A and B are shown apart, each in its own frame.
Chain A
Amino acid sequence: MEAILQAFGAALQLKVILMMILGAVVGIVFGAIPGLTYSMGIILVLPLTFNLDPLAAITLLLGVYVGGMTGGSVSAIILGIPGTPSAAATCLDGHRLAKEGKAGKALGTAVFSATIGGLISVLILVVVAPIIAKFALKFGPAEIFALVFFGFSAIAGISSGKVIKGLISGMIGLLVMTMGMDPVMGVKRYTFGSINLLGGVDVLSFMIGMFAIPQIVEAFATDESAIKRKLDTNVSMSFPTFKEIKGLASTILKSALIGVGIGAIPGTGGPIAAFLGYDQAKRKACSDEPTLDCVAGPEAAHNGVTGGALIPMLTLGIPGDPATAILLGALLIHGLKPGPLLFQENSGFVYGIYATLFIINILVFSIQSFGIRFFVKVLDFKKSYLYTTIMVLCVIGSYSSHNNMFDVFTMFAAGLIGFFMQKFGFPVAPTILALVLGPTMEDSFRRALILSQGNFATFVASPISIVFYAFTAFVLVSQVRRKKKTKKA
Chain B
Amino acid sequence: MKSNTKRIIALLLVIAAVAAPLAAQAKKYPTKAIEVTCLFGPGSAADLIARKFSDLAQGYLGQPLPVVNRTGGGQAIGYNYVKNQRPDGYNVIWTSNGIFTAYYQGNIDFKHEAFTHIAQVSYEPVSIAVKYDAPWKTVKEFMDYIKANPGKVRIGNSGAGTFTHLTAAALENEAGSRVVHVPFGKGLAFASLLGGQIEATIQLPSEVEGQYKAKQVRILAVTGADRVESMPDVPTLKESGYPLELILWRGLAVPKGTPADVVQTLVEATRKVVESQEFKAFAKTVAIIPSFKTGSEFQAFLDQDDKTNAVLMKQTGTSNR
Contact = CB atoms under 8 A, between A and B. Distances in A.
Interface residues of A, number: 57
B105 interface: yes
B257 interface: no
A451 B191 contact: no
Contact of B191 (A50, A188, A200, A318): A318
Interface stretch (B26-34, B192-200, B247-255, B263-271): B192-200
B107 interface: yes
Contacts of B177: none
B286 interface: yes
Given A332-B206, A341-B210, A137 B195 contact: yes
B59 interface: no
A32 B206 CA distance: 35
Interface string A320-354: 00100111111011110111111010000000000
Contacts of B216: 316, 339-340
Contacts of B76: 195, 198-199
Q: Interface range on chain B: under 10, 10 to 19, 20 to 34, or 35 or more?
A: 35 or more
A195 B48 contact: no
Interface string B98-109: 000000011100
B191 A198 contact: no
Interface string B174-204: 0000001111111110111011111000000
Interface stretch (A40-48, A161-169, A254-262, A281-289): A40-48
Given A199-B71, A199-B72, A332-B48, A267 B55 contact: no
Given A138-B195, A333-B286, A337-B209, A180 B48 contact: no
B212 to A, nearest CB: 9
Interface stretch (B39-47, B86-94, B296-304): B39-47
Contacts of B185: 183, 267, 443
A140 interface: yes
B194 A137 contact: yes
Interface in A46-63: 46-47, 50
Interface string B213-232: 11010000000000000000
B269 to A, nearest CB: 19
A418 interface: no
Given A328-B43, A447-B183, A181 B211 contact: no
A329 B43 contact: yes
B154 interface: yes
B73 interface: yes
A404 interface: yes
A457 interface: no
Given A140-B195, A332-B285, A43 B42 contact: yes
B69 A318 contact: no
Nearest to B188: A267
Q: Which of A312, A328, A404 has the most CB of B within 10 A?
A: A404
A356 interface: no
A266 B47 CA distance: 21
Nearest to A191: B73
Given A140-B192, A186-B318, A335-B285, A181 B74 contact: yes
7 contacts: A46-B42, A46-B51, A137-B191, A312-B191, A327-B43, A329-B44, A333-B286
Interface of A: 39, 42-43, 46-47, 50, 136-141, 180-181, 183-186, 188, 195-196, 198-200, 266-267, 312, 316-319, 322, 325-330, 332-335, 337-342, 344, 402-404, 443, 447, 450-451, 453
Given A140-B195, A337-B213, A344-B214, 19 more contacts: A46-B51, A50-B55, A181-B107, A186-B74, A267-B185, A267-B188, A312-B191, A329-B44, A329-B45, A329-B48, A332-B48, A334-B285, A338-B210, A340-B216, A341-B210, A342-B210, A402-B72, A403-B68, A403-B69
Report, nearest first, the 8 A-B pairs whose CB atoms are least far apart: A199-B72, A339-B210, A326-B43, A337-B210, A198-B73, A329-B43, A199-B73, A340-B214
